[in-house]
Amino acid sequence: MSTLRRPAPVKLPQTLTIAGSDSGGGAGVQADLKTMEALDTFATSAITSLTAQNTVGVESIHPVPVEEIEAQVDAIRDDFELQAVKTGMLGVEPVVETVTSYAADMDVPFVVDPVMVATSGDRLLDHDAEAAYKELIAESTVVTPNADEAEILTDIPIADPDSMQTAGQRLVEMGAETALIKGGHVGGEHVVRDVIVTQDDVTTLKNARVDSVATHGSGCTLSSAIAARLAHGEDIPDAIEFGVDFMTRAIRYPLDVGEGPGTVHHLANIRDRSARQPTQETVESVVQQLVSADVSAIVPEVGMNVVGATPYAERPGDTVAVEGRIAQTMSGIRSTRGTRFGASSHVARFLLSAQEHDPALRFAANLRFNDAIERVLEEIDATVVEIDRSNEPEPGEEGSTMSWAAERAFEQCETTPAIVFDRGDVGKEPITRLLAKEDDLTTRALSIAERI
């Protein structure tokens, strides 16, 4: 080429993490940088401690001299236009005091994660530094202690959401603009409650508990996600809610690394986004093949839907389906509209509930059930399960009936069912559900239609 290409610079919000280094890469500065970059900010760092650690535990800690920490922060402030700062492991009292002076001097959101103990149980904060933290909290935009850290900071024993609220109010009285008390260490076998406290309001976020011990780096990931969203100008409550959802996905899909429990998946959110287009293309291909083959015989009266979930799906909005379903017409069947994410509720919730038992499941569809299909299912080479919907609970929480159906199906077989059917009940149409890990959903649906 005869001419040079013109550069097209990209301007992103710029963030700073002041925290310890984790040689294992799961927590600390490494987790902060991964998370902030995943959320479209340019992340900078000032390292407060060098730790030799991995997924099993902390081998040693080497504090960085205060003057070197100051040199790092000053170098960043001289060159970068910061939109948010977060703190992690500060370690000793002089470092806490130094960071407090920066928080007081910098007119940007300051997210304080009062790191005191590692997930492995190793202590990461000097006892003398605990009192110094109160001054830093007074300068914070958001402070994000877990229950143990909140107890140390407020002297309030925490055992339930009420005591979490009381501790949060104490932190706000100490000067924090917003306190997020994380509930991962507080009771509740199936639900995690995080309490957000401001001067004017108290909000409780509820999320299903993930049965995982691979939580290394979860606190760092959450506080970094909040800081990144604040750097984009998001309101504090929205930034916190996003951060909690972001962290929940990171815990739900942990990274199987090291000899210990593993670590949270800091990039699960971005991996989910990258999987959306190929998932949608697969669903569109399945729909096109079913319509072309005119599988009218297996389309239920309510219409058929084909649903695809990304490998990191958490809710119906992470699944793609036919908007309006596949419907019968005088001349065959047709897709009433195109595909989009969030277009399905019932089939999507059944698929997501099934993924709780087998995360490899990616696709599902609802078919008609009648005598002809029952005869085909008796001969088909697949794991077929029948559930009895006469015992189905009344819809309470949204999606509860679909979760119930998936639970009943997996209770009845040692492997993952490929087909789940029921004979309906009063006011409930009989239905056949297909589940698939790959795009073999098409093959199975066509096989059933051709045998009728």
Tens digit of each residue's pLDDT, the chain (452 residues): 568 899 999 999 999 999 999 999 999 999 999 999 999 999 999 999 999 999 888 899 999 999 999 999 999 999 999 999 999 999 889 999 999 999 999 999 999 999 886 665 556 677 777 888 999 999 999 999 999 999 999 999 999 999 999 999 999 999 999 999 998 878 777 889 999 999 999 999 998 888 888 889 999 999 999 999 999 999 999 999 999 999 999 999 999 999 999 999 999 999 999 999 999 999 999 999 999 999 999 999 889 999 999 999 999 999 999 998 898 887 888 888 899 999 998 899 999 999 999 999 999 999 999 999 999 999 888 899 999 887 777 665 545 678 888 899 999 888 999 999 998 877 778 999 999 997 789 999 999 999 88
| CATH node for 270-451 | 3.40.225.10
Q: Count CB atoms within 10 A of the CB of residue 36.
A: 29
SS3 for 80? coil
26 — phi, psi (to 5°)?
-90, -25
Placement of tokens 């479209």 in the chain: 40
Tell me: the pLDDT tens digits for 236-252? 999 999 999 999 999 99
Contact predicate 59/207, CB 8 Å: no
CATH fold of the domain at 14-265: UDP-N-acetylmuramoyl-L-alanine:D-glutamate ligase (3.40.1190)
Would you call 224 exposed, middle or buried from its count of C-beta atoms within 10 A (0-12, 13-18, 19+)?
Answer: buried
Q: Give the DSSP H/E element, type plus range, for residue 242.
A: helix 236-252
Amino acid occupying residue 58: V
Amino acid occupying residue 424: G
Whole-prediction pTM: 0.90
Nearest CA-CA partner of 203 in 241, 239, 170, 163: 241
Sequence spans of domains, the chain = 14-265, 270-451
Strand pairing class (110-112; 142-143): parallel
Nearest CA-CA partner of 270 in 308, 221, 232, 316: 221
